[in-house]
Amino acid sequence: TLYMVIIRLKLKYLCNGTPLEVTLKETGIVTDVSAKIPFEIKSSDEKFLMEAAAYTSLKMSELDVCHHKVIIGLQTTCADLTEEDLSRVAVNLLNCQSVAEGRPIYICTNDMTLSDCTKDMDPNTWNAYHIISNRARAVCYASRQELFGAKTQMAVNMLMLTAEEQIKTMDGLQEGQEALERATSKTLDSLSEGHEHLRLQQQQLSTAHHAIHNFVSSNLRELSREKKLIASGQRELAHITEAIKRKLEEAQKQLMVQESSQRDAHSIILKDLSKIQDNALEVWQKLDASTQKILSAHEETVQQYGRLTQDLRQMNETVHHLMDVLQSTKRGVEDKLSWISSLVGGTDNTIQKVYSCVLHAAYFFLAMLAYSFLQ
């Protein structure tokens, strides 16, 4: 874990008291590790104490482990503890003793006041707390000395392991040196044999040199004759080169004329392309404007269609309502007319005229309502 790495690095630099800056890039944490007591342990107290017990003679009973955890958690030295901090340490030491004896414990953290830590204690527990409080600083010194001794023993053990590894490494280097010496001796023997072989080859080369000298002399005479032939060939080659040069100059002039004509044609093509681009841009702008107008007209048409649909729906509801009213009125009029007919007797023609007038008045009223609704 992260904390065990820090503890090992602290122990590595314990003897000379040099502070170590440990940069943990993987976790994004920069920790200033000091090799002197006090130090803080939060998450791996048991692992540290178990490892210390494995390398040293540190006692590892449950009560001792609890005491060490309390002292390790202090942020200052035992001499710099205030009376309130010392009282909190006494409460935690009392909790350690209570846990070992199966008694109730009293939670006490640095964020709590001393009264909060001791308010639930009974008189016997209160007396025990005061007794432990008088010895808390002595317990702190004793635990710190044990922890310091454990760290020292762990450092010495690790240094011993390192020394043994160095001795093994030196033995390996000695064996390698002996092997290198044997290889060097073999190499010197090989060099001596090679030197003798080179001397013999030198004699052979001297003999070959004389033969080569005679061969070179004959070759020089042959080269002198060939040089004369080459001189005549060079003169002929100069004439041919001059003719080729004249032809190249003529071809260059023709290429320049063709390049000028191609440049003019290229300029004309660029102008035409520019006009085409301008025309295409203008057409695109017109199409964009037309599209915007069409979209606006479409949106307006959709809105008008929606309003028209809503108006028709309302008109339909109104007509249905009027028809219901008319039917109810008709039934009422028919009932009244039947009643009047029963009272009047044989006036059938008069009743029909009254019914016709009432019906026309109802239609007229319906037409007026429809007209006002449409307006």
For 170-195, what is each residue's pLDDT tens digit? 888 888 888 888 888 888 888 888 88
pLDDT at 341: 66
Residue 30 sits at φ, ψ, to 5 deg, of -110, 120
Average pLDDT over residues 113-119: 79
- Structure token digits, residue 160: 């011993």
How many CB atoms are closer than 10 A to CB 69? Answer: 18
Average pLDDT over residues 343-351: 58
| DSSP H helix total and E strand total for the chain | 7, 2
Length of the chain in terms of residues written: 375
CA distance to 3, 31, 73, 162, per residue, from 46 (Å) = 12, 21, 12, 26
Crossing angle for the helix pair 45-55 and 2-12, to the nearest 10 degrees: 40
Q: How high does pLDDT run on average in the chain?
A: 74
pLDDT at 334: 76
Q: What is the pLDDT of residues 50-75, one digit of tens each?
A: 555 554 555 557 766 777 777 777 76
Listed in order, strand segments (DSSP E) in the chain are 20-24, 29-33
pTM for this model (two decimals): 0.31
Band (18; pLDDT cuts 50, 70, 90): very low
Q: What is the pLDDT of residues 148-177, one digit of tens each?
A: 777 777 788 888 888 888 888 888 888 888
Q: Are 105 and 177 in contact (CB under 8 A)?
A: no
pLDDT at position 300 over 80: yes
pLDDT at 151: 76
Return the closest-CA partner of residue 99 out of 147, 67, 136. Answer: 67
Which of 37 and 183 is assigned the larger pLDDT? Answer: 183
Average pLDDT over residues 333-355: 66
pLDDT at 44: 42
Crossing angle for the helix pair 83-101 and 123-344, to the nearest 10 degrees: 90
CA distance to 14, 214, 219, 224, per residue, from 303 (Å) = 86, 115, 109, 108
Return the closest-CA partner of residue 370 out of 329, 326, 333. Answer: 326
Distance CA 285, CA 288 (A): 5
Percent residues over pLDDT 70 in the chain = 78
Provide the residue ranges of all domains of the chain, joining segments of one domain with +: 2-181, 324-374
Average pLDDT over residues 1-27: 36
